[in-house]
Amino acid sequence: MKNLTRKQRKMLIRIIASAALLAAVKLLPVADGALSRIAWVLYLVPYGIIGWDVLYKALRNIRNGQVFDENFLMALATVGAFGTGEYAEAVFVMLFYQVGELFQDYAVGKSRQSIAALMDIRPDTANLEREDGSLEEVDPEDVEVGAVVVVKPGERVPLDGVVLEGFSALDTAALTGESAPRDVGPGDDVISGCVNQSGLLRVRVAKPCQESTVSKILDLVENAGEKKAASENFITRFARYYTPCVTLAALALFLLPTIALAVVPASSQPAFLSGTAWTGWLHRALIFLVISCPCALVISVPLSFFGGIGGAGKCGILVKGSNYLELLSRTETVVFDKTGTLTKGSFAVTALHPAGDFPERALLEYAALAESWSSHPISLSLRKAWGEEAGAGRVTDVEEIAGHGVAARVDGRTVLAGNSRLMEREGVCCERCGLPGTIVHVAVDGAYAGHILISDLPKPEAKTLSEGLKAAGVKRTVMLTGDTEATAKSVAGDLGLDEYHAQLLPADKVAQVERLLEAKTPGAVLAFVGDGINDAPVLTRADVGIAMGALGSDAAIEAADVVLMDDNPAKIVTAMRISRKTLRIVKQNIWFALGVKFAVLILGFFGMASMWAAVFADVGVAFLAILNATRCLRVNEFGK
C-alpha cells in the first residue's frame, strides 16, 4: 500500500470492508424466517460502503445537466438490481466497478509519476554569488541575466549560461536520454536541467528563468495533452453520443417487451416473449446498461497516447501533442536537411594531395599559417589538422581576397591558399580533384604545391538511418542542401538516401517540400528533419517538423512539432517506432473493447448473459485495456 495515494488507500479499505461484509451476508441463512424479509437491508450496508460516491456523483451530474456518464449507468443498473431482488448481484457489480476504477486511477497515476520523474529537472534553488564572494540560495526566478551562480557537484544547473570557471562533466540524461556525460570548461555553454557530476562550476546566467531550456521543455510537456490525436477526438465524440443511445436502447429493451406482455394475449405472443415476465426483461436491460459502460475506451485510449509521449520523453524525444504522435505513425516521406542533421556540421581535413614531391606536412603547414588570421570554418579546420601554434613573425602581409581565398608571406615566402579561381587569377596551373568536398589549392612562390580536401563528414549514426527508416515503414527519403552537386551526391550515396537536391537557398527548400507534399499519397505524412535554427520555415510547412540536435535551441523548440534533444539521427527511427507501437495499442484497445461489448450485448439481449458476464464486459475489458495501454511507457532505445 506504500505506493498508493491517500485517496487510493481509502478506496482499497472500502473495497476490502465491502467485500468482507458481502461475504458475511452471503453466509447468513437469509432464506429462513424473518431474516429473508430484511435481506435487502443487510445487503444495503456493503452496497452503501462501496457505492455511495457513485450514487452521489450520478445525482450531482444530473443536477448539473450531465446525465449520461458511467456513474449514471452504474447507479441505474445497481439500484434496478435491488428493485428486482438481485441484491448480491447489485453489490458485486458496484464492488467490481470500484475495483476497476481503483486500478484505472493507479495506472494513470503511475503514468503521470513516470512523466513527472522524467521532467523533474527544474531546480528549486540557485546558489547566487554576491559581490563579496558569498553564496545565497535563491529562487531561480529571482536571478537576473548577467549574474553569477555556483553549481556544486551533484546539483542541477539552475539556468542557462556560460561557464566562467571550473571543469566538470554534465549528466544530460533527463534532457537527451543519453547516459554519456558531456565535458565542459570555461567558455562552454551550459543549459538548465543538467546534473553537475564532478567539479565546481561558476556560471554567468545568459537567460532569465522563464526563457531557460528547462522551462520551455516543461511547458511543452504540460501542454502536450491539449493537442489531441484524431483517435482521442473520435472517442470523446463517440462517448458523448454512445452513452445516451445505449441508455435509450436499455429502456426500449425493458419497455417494449413489458408492454407487449401486457397487451398481447399469451396465445398470440411470439416465442421470445412466451414464458417471460417483466422482471426478467428489466434484469436484461440492467445487464445491458452494465455492459455498455464505455470506461475501457475513454480511459485506455488517452492513457495510451500519454504513455507514448512519456516513453518518447525517456528517450530524449519531446512530442508536442498526441496528434503529432499519431501523424508520425503514418509517415511515408522523410526529408532531411544535410548540414548538422546528417553530417556533423563541422569541417575537417579528409585528404592531402601534394603536387610532385612536395611534402604533405609542409603543404598543410603553409595552408594553416596562411589562414591563421581568418575565423572562417575552413581556416579553423586547417589549423586544427595542423595542430600547432603559429610562431610570432612567421606570417606577414596577410590579404584576404573575398570569394577567392588568402595571400600571405609565410617565413618570407609568398603563399596563396584558396579556390581554383584564386589560382587562375594568379596564373597558377592547378590540378582538378574528383572527390566531393571543399578544395583548398595552395601555391608557394608562384609554384603549385598541391590541394587539401575539406569535408563535412556524415555522422556515424546516419550510416544506417535509411535502412532503419525503411524498416519502420518509411517509403521515401530525400535530402535537401545548399551544398554542391558533387558533395550532395556523395553524401546521399553513402547514406543510401532515395534522392537529393543540391545548391538550394532556404526559399528553394520550402519550394521542394511543397512539391513533395503535392506528390505524396493522400493520407500519408511528410516529415522534415532539420537543425531547428535556420530551417524554421520548412519545419513549419511540413506535416511534421522534427528538430534534432536541439539541446538549448530556442528556434527548434518553437518551430518543430517533435524535438530530439541530442544530435543522434537514429532517434528519428525510435520516434517512428514509438508512434507506430502507440497507435497499434490504441487500435487493439478500441477493437477489443467494442468486440467484447458487442458480443455480450447481443447475448444479453437474448437473455444469455448474466450480470457476471456484464461485469467482465465492463470492468474486465477496462482492466485488460488499461494494462495494454501501460505498455506504451515501456520502450527501449529502439522504440520497441
Residues identified as active-site = 337
Helix/strand/coil for 227: coil
One DSSP character per residue, 481-532 reads -SS-HHHHHHHHHHHT-SEEE-S--HHHHHHHHHHHHHHSPTT-EEEEEE-S
Full strand arrangement of the beta sheet holding 161-165: 135-138, 126-129, 148-151, 201-205, 161-165, 189-190
In 388-446 the beta strands, taken as DSSP E runs, fall at 395-401, 405-410, 413-418, 438-444
H or E segment and range at residue 102: helix 87-118
Phi, psi of 545 (to 5 degrees): -100, 125
> What residues does 331 pair with on adjacent strands?
525
Q: How far is CA 605 from the centre of its chain?
A: 43
Return all residues near 75 (Cβ < 8 A) that are at least 6 apart: 51, 54, 55, 58, 59
Please state, in angstroms and as integers, the Cα–Cα distance from residue 245 to each residue in 379, 531, 600, 624, following that order: 74, 50, 17, 25
Query: What sign does the CA torsion over 511, 517, 518, 520 have?
Result: positive
Longest pairwise C-alpha distance within the chain: 124
Q: Rounded CA gap, 529 and 542, in Å?
A: 9
One DSSP character per residue, 551-609 reads TT-HHHHHH-SEEE-SS-THHHHHHHHHHHHHHHHHHHHHHHHHHHHHHHHHHHHTT--
Q: Rounded CA gap, 129 and 147, in Å?
A: 8
Give me the long-range contacts of 443-449 (CB less than 8 A, separation at least 24): 443/415, 443/416, 444/366, 444/413, 444/414, 444/415, 445/413, 445/414, 446/414, 448/355, 448/423, 449/354, 449/355, 449/358, 449/362, 449/363, 449/366
Q: Rounded CA gap, 406 and 385, in Å?
A: 18
Nearest residue to 547 via CA among 320, 314, 308, 215: 320
Per DSSP bridges, beta strands 562-564 and 544-547 are parallel
Q: Rounded CA gap, 572 and 102, in Å?
A: 37
Q: Rounded CA gap, 371 and 351, in Å?
A: 18
Q: Rounded CA gap, 298 and 377, in Å?
A: 55
Q: Rounded CA gap, 487 and 484, in Å?
A: 5
Q: What is the CA radius of gyration of the chain?
A: 35
Q: Rounded CA gap, 156 and 153, in Å?
A: 9
Please state, in angstroms and as integers, the Cα–Cα distance from residue 65 to each residue in 80, 242, 285, 373, 408, following that order: 22, 17, 23, 77, 85
Nearest residue to 216 via CA among 566, 550, 576, 533: 550
